[in-house]
């Protein structure tokens, strides 16, 4: 079946940086269905060839060594451009006509990709509906919606309603690019394709879980968006909660979209809602010192660039096991990791053993940038009496597999083409995630506890973060990727 991927917001950054490079790579690897086309739609009036030239340059830049001129030459004729305004119904009628002509009488499966500013999601969906472009009588029609999906529960519900007036839920693919990361998917494989981890993956053996997404970058030129959105909406509602659900969920019977998402939803439902009075005790917020000097940051901005949220999953498996979610910009290094911290042995017969949690077993799932898994365990130091030391066992993806790790968008776009929504957020999942984040955001919208602590760039957030964790009787696993 022929496929047409229509990109709304075609002249934007995401299209040139991620989407087109990913589609080009799929083409180069021979993964796209025969007769696949891209059609760009945005207001800038490009001719087809002008847009192709621009994309050639940006793709060469973003795929770097994987760029192959002859592969591009074979790909470029399937790239088209149709200028138009999302807020103008007539432009959708003319787009629809253009697509019909391009696809010919045989038609094609269509994927509409909303890569626009979020305020255009609703008008784009409504116009697609009015132009009859969502109807599946002429072929499959799917819609991909980028994050952010709403800014809180109310707006996410409204957006879901607008979406469902035009598309069935089965046609909708809400992207969280973290789910396209190979190592994120490997969390499921590690847990459910092996027998040795599951028996200990629970409150009997696990003391707590740390999920950290640290970034070295500062906000830079992104403050126009970030200063209003803030950290919870940018990283927690989506990426960090997704990592939590994959770590905590039960094994679905099959790797199928609804089976997987049902289990994730059960975890989100089991997360103890944060009451306003809990926020001060269970969260931390910080801002890097120079944040207020960044362009477009509102003077005196209270927007956090670092945060910690402690969540409890109230079910049999996880009762009493806190999940510490942490993210920050301007940190020591870029690292995303899930740390499963196991309990100390119940009794230590050696004089120097795991007598505190810092020396107990730990499984580090390194999501990026050095993808792999590290198991920490105690060993005997040779020729030193009965001295013990915490050592590790490493698995590195790059060492074991010759094929490089592809960008998330390749996997996700291919899944949309094949109609597999397992790695996409369902409407109830998105709404539940907002329900978890909203009460924290409501408290953070005002000055007061937890106080916004300033921190130096290049570290692990404000000093209060370590002090707070110490009061929890625990310590952060502050390690830049060791793999
Ligand atoms: C995006 C956020 O969704 O994820 C950014 O908007 C963040 O603020 C980015 O930098 C992190 O993605 P990755 O894949 O680099 O970890």
Q: How far is the CA of 159 from the centre of ligand 1 (A)?
A: 22
Which pLDDT band holds residue 483 (cuts at 50, 70, 90)? confident
Strand 372-380, strand 362-368: pairing? antiparallel
Per-residue model confidence (pLDDT) at position 170: 97
d(CA 475, CA 482): 18
**Distances from the Cα of 183 to the Cα of 98, 114, 296, angstroms:** 40, 26, 35
Q: What is the mean pLDDT of residues 184-202?
A: 97
Q: What is the mean pLDDT of residues 420-427?
A: 97
Atom of ligand 1 at shortest range from CA of 238: 3
Beta bridge partners of 433: none
> Tokens at residue 461, please?
């957030």
Atom of ligand 1 at shortest range from CA of 217: 10
Q: Please, are residues 287 and 354 in contact by the beta-carbon 8 Å criterion?
A: no
Which pLDDT band holds residue 358 (cuts at 50, 70, 90)? confident
* Lowest mean per-residue pLDDT among 11-25, 207-221, 357-371, 462-476: 357-371
Q: How far is the CA of 336 from the centre of ligand 1 (A)?
A: 11
Checking if the pLDDT of 283 tops 90, the result is: yes
Whose CA is closest to atom 5 on ligand 1?
Answer: 234
Report the residue among 178, 216, 331 best suited for mutation to probe ligand 1: largest number of ligand atoms under 8 A from its CB: 178
Which pLDDT band holds residue 1 (cuts at 50, 70, 90)? confident
Whose CA is closest to atom 6 on ligand 1?
Answer: 234
Whose CA is closest to atom 15 on ligand 1?
Answer: 215
Which pLDDT band holds residue 80 (cuts at 50, 70, 90)? very high
Q: Please, are residues 433 and 241 in contact by the beta-carbon 8 Å criterion?
A: yes
Q: How far is the CA of 146 from the centre of ligand 1 (A)?
A: 13
- Catalytic positions, please? 239
Report the residue among 178, 235, 240, 408 best suited for mutation to probe ligand 1: largest number of ligand atoms under 8 A from its CB: 235
> Tokens at residue 190, please?
């590690």
Tens digits of residue pLDDT in 387-417: 888 999 999 998 999 888 899 999 999 999 9
For the chain, the first-to-last Cα distance in angstroms comes to: 42
Atom of ligand 1 at shortest range from CA of 234: 6
Q: What is the mean pLDDT of residues 149-178?
A: 98
d(CA 131, CA 94): 9
Per-residue model confidence (pLDDT) at position 20: 98
Q: Please, are residues 43 and 85 in contact by the beta-carbon 8 Å criterion?
A: yes
Which pLDDT band holds residue 360 (cuts at 50, 70, 90)? very high
Q: What is the mean pLDDT of residues 438-443?
A: 97
Per-residue model confidence (pLDDT) at position 47: 97
Which pLDDT band holds residue 348 (cuts at 50, 70, 90)? confident
Q: How far is the CA of 220 from the centre of ligand 1 (A)?
A: 13
Pocket of ligand 1 (CB under 6 A): 215, 234, 336
For the chain, percent of residues with pLDDT exceeding 90: 91
Q: How far is the CA of 211 from the centre of ligand 1 (A)?
A: 15
Which pLDDT band holds residue 482 (cuts at 50, 70, 90)? low
Q: How far is the CA of 178 from the centre of ligand 1 (A)?
A: 9
Atom of ligand 1 at shortest range from CA of 368: 16
Which pLDDT band holds residue 350 (cuts at 50, 70, 90)? confident
Beta bridge partners of 396: 372
Q: Please, what are the domains in the chain?
A: 3-146 (3.40.50.720), 179-413+426-471 (3.30.360.10)
Tens digits of residue pLDDT in 288-345: 999 999 999 999 999 999 999 999 999 999 999 999 999 999 999 999 999 999 999 9
A 10 A CB-CB count for 61 gives 12
pTM of the model: 0.96
Q: What is the mean pLDDT of residues 156-182?
A: 97
Per-residue model confidence (pLDDT) at position 6: 98
Q: Which of 147, 140, 138, 143 is nearest to 165 (CA)?
A: 143
Checking if the pLDDT of 355 tops 80, the result is: no
Per-residue model confidence (pLDDT) at position 91: 98
Checking if the pLDDT of 264 tops 80, the result is: yes
Q: What is the mean pLDDT of residues 269-280?
A: 96
Whose CA is closest to atom 10 on ligand 1?
Answer: 215
Q: How far is CA 418 from the centre of its chain?
A: 21
Q: Please, are residues 54 and 22 in contact by the beta-carbon 8 Å criterion?
A: no
Q: Which residues of 30-47 are buried (b: 16+ CB within 10 A; e: fewer)?
A: ebbeeebbbbbbbeeebe
């Amino acid at each position: 079946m022929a496929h047409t991927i229509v990109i709304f917001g075609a002249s934007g950054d995401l299209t040139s940086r991620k989407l087109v490079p990913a589609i080009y790579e799929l083409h180069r690897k021979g993964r796209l269905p025969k007769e696949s086309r891209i059609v760009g739609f945005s207001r800038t009036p490009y001719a087809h060839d002008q847009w192709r030239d621009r994309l050639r340059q940006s793709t060469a830049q973003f795929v770097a060594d994987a760029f192959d001129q002859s592969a591009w030459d074979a790909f470029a004729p399937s790239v088209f451009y149709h200028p138009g305004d999302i807020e103008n119904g007539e432009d959708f009628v003319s787009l629809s006509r253009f697509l019909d002509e391009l696809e010919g009488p045989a038609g094609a499966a269509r994927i509409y990709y909303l890569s626009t500013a979020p305020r255009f999601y609703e008008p784009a969906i409504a116009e697609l509906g009015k132009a009859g472009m969502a109807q599946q009588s002429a072929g499959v029609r799917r819609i991909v919606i980028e994050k952010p999906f709403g800014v809180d529960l109310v707006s996410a519900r409204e957006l879901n309603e607008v979406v469902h007036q035009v598309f069935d839920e089965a046609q909708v693919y809400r992207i969280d690019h973290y789910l396209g990361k190979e190592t994120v998917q490997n969390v499921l494989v590690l847990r459910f394709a092996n027998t040795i981890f599951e028996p200990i993956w629970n409150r009997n053996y696990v003391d707590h879980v740390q999920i950290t997404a640290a970034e070295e970058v500062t906000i830079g030129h992104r403050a126009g968006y970030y200063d209003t959105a803030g950290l919870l909406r940018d990283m927690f509602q989506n990426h960090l909660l997704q990592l939590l659900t994959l770590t905590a969920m039960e094994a679905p019977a099959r790797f199928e979209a609804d089976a997987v998402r049902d289990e994730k939803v059960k975890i989100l439902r089991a997360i103890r809602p944060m009451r306003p009075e809990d926020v001060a005790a269970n969260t931390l917020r910080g801002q890097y010192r120079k944040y207020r000097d960044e362009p477009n940051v509102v003077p005196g901005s209270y927007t956090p660039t670092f945060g910690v949220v402690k969540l409890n999953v109230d079910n049999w498996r996880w009762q009493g096991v806190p999940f510490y979610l942490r993210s920050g910009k301007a940190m020591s290094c870029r690292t995303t990791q899930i740390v499963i911290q196991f309990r100390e042995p119940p009794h230590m017969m050696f004089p120097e053993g795991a007598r505190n949690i810092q020396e107990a077993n730990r499984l580090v799932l390194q999501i990026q940038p050095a993808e792999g898994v590290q198991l920490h365990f105690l060993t005997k130091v040779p020729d030193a009496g009965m001295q013990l030391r915490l050592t590790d066992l490493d698995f590195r993806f790059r060492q074991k597999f010759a094929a490089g790790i592809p960008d998330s968008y390749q996997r996700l776009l291919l899944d949309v083409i094949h109609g597999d929504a397992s790695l996409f957020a369902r409407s109830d999942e998105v709404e539940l995630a907002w329900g978890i984040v909203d009460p924290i955001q409501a408290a953070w919208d005002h000055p007061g506890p937890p106080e916004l602590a300033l921190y130096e760039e290049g570290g692990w957030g404000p000093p209060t973060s370590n002090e707070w964790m110490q009061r929890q009787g625990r310590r952060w696993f502050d390690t830049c990727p060791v793999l």
